[in-house]
Amino acid sequence: MNVDWKKEAHKRDISSVSTNAWTRKHQSCNRPLVPATQQHYLFKHKFNFSIPVLLYGRLFTQELWDQLSQQNAPYGWRGLSYQAIASTLSLLNTSANAQLFDFSVKQRLGCIRCAVVGNGGILNGSRQGLQIDSHDFVFRLNGAVIKGYEKDVGTKTSFYGFTVNTMKNSLGAYKHLGFTSVPKHQDLHYIFIPSNIRDYLMLKSAVLGVPVPEGHDKGDKPQTYFGPDTSASKFKLLHPEFINYLKERFLKSDLISKKYGYLYMPSTGALMLLTALHTCDQVSAYGFITSNYQEFSDHYYDSKKQPLVFYVNHDMHMEGNLWKNLHDAGIMNLYQR
């Protein structure tokens, strides 16, 4: 597919921006990632910047329902309640729900520079905090422990990505490290990954400001997680078609054909990094798996070195190879040491 990268760059949009992003002087990218993808013999056939990244109310049609109800979550809605999906999406009706970056941001910045911060042990002792915070936008995910690790991971958060399951598991697992709340502040946006019905129900309750009415999280109060400002503009929802496209084009693992293949999906970190690669002009990845992962602990906040755990629902080796290939192709920068 031939992509006019200048037009694509002008399509990129966000609803609100951090102070640093608004005040930084307009500058062009020295190497925007869109043309870099089109100049690469392999990745020019993989990237499709016309795929909608986010799902919002106006995209929900009977045709989309019929199509996505043929596939299981996170790639579709098979077995999920039509009413639950429809009522949730009807609330995502602002321009902020439709796109990650507003056109005015692109006009002001000229080049949107993003850092995506994983939780890998490679960041322990890295002293990358200031470099991470120098980006216009910073994506974090799951157990985004910051307190005590500011010099290594920075303090800035623009987007926090998660599934309800990974968010709640992180809050439980890392409570002893002070991770008692997901990141919160006025300019921060939350990116829901729709891994099952829990995510749609939590999102709907968050926008309405009411407890979750049913299911696994019945009675949960979303403001406990996301703070008192739970207006619709705070939330983004990854499009199941986008997640499926990422799986098919970038991370179609052999695990899919194995015994537990039905559990397979790209990791939260992979989904956040690939989201940034489809919306930002320049992307740097920190705390992601590298070829020498054995030298580092599983997480940067581990008190003792722990080996990286390979779960059956993710293909971390495949993800690591992808990050290295994208780095070598000059499409993104992967922090390595």
By the 10 Å C-beta count (0-12 exposed, 13-18 middle, 19+ buried), 24 is classed as middle
Per-residue pLDDT of the chain (337 residues; tens, 9 = 90+): 444 443 444 444 333 334 444 445 567 788 899 999 999 999 999 999 999 999 999 999 999 999 999 999 999 999 999 999 999 999 999 999 999 988 777 767 789 999 999 999 999 999 999 999 999 999 999 999 999 999 999 999 999 999 999 999 999 999 999 899 999 988 899 999 999 999 999 999 999 999 999 999 999 999 999 998 889 999 999 999 999 999 999 999 888 888 877 888 999 999 999 999 999 999 999 999 999 999 999 999 999 999 888 878 898 999 999 999 999 999 999 999 9
Question: In the chain, what are the domain boundaries?
Answer: 33-331
Q: Which among 316, 272, 288, 324 has a CA at the least distance from the CA of 122?
A: 288
Assign domain 33-331 to a CATH class.
alpha beta
Please give the pLDDT value at position 309.
82
Q: Which residues of 215-253 are buried (b: 16+ CB within 10 A; e: fewer)?
A: bebeebebeebbbeebebbbbbbbbbbbbbbbbeebbeb
The pTM assigned to this predicted structure is 0.90
Strand spans (E) along 167-281: 189-192, 235-237
By the 10 Å C-beta count (0-12 exposed, 13-18 middle, 19+ buried), 101 is classed as buried
- What are all long-range contacts of 44-49, with beta carbons under 8 Å and residues at least 24 apart? 46/249, 46/250, 47/3, 47/249, 47/277, 47/278, 48/1, 48/245, 48/249, 49/3, 49/8, 49/11, 49/278
Please give the pLDDT value at position 25.
57
Instruction: Return d(Cα 84, Cα 215) in angstroms, integer.
Output: 11
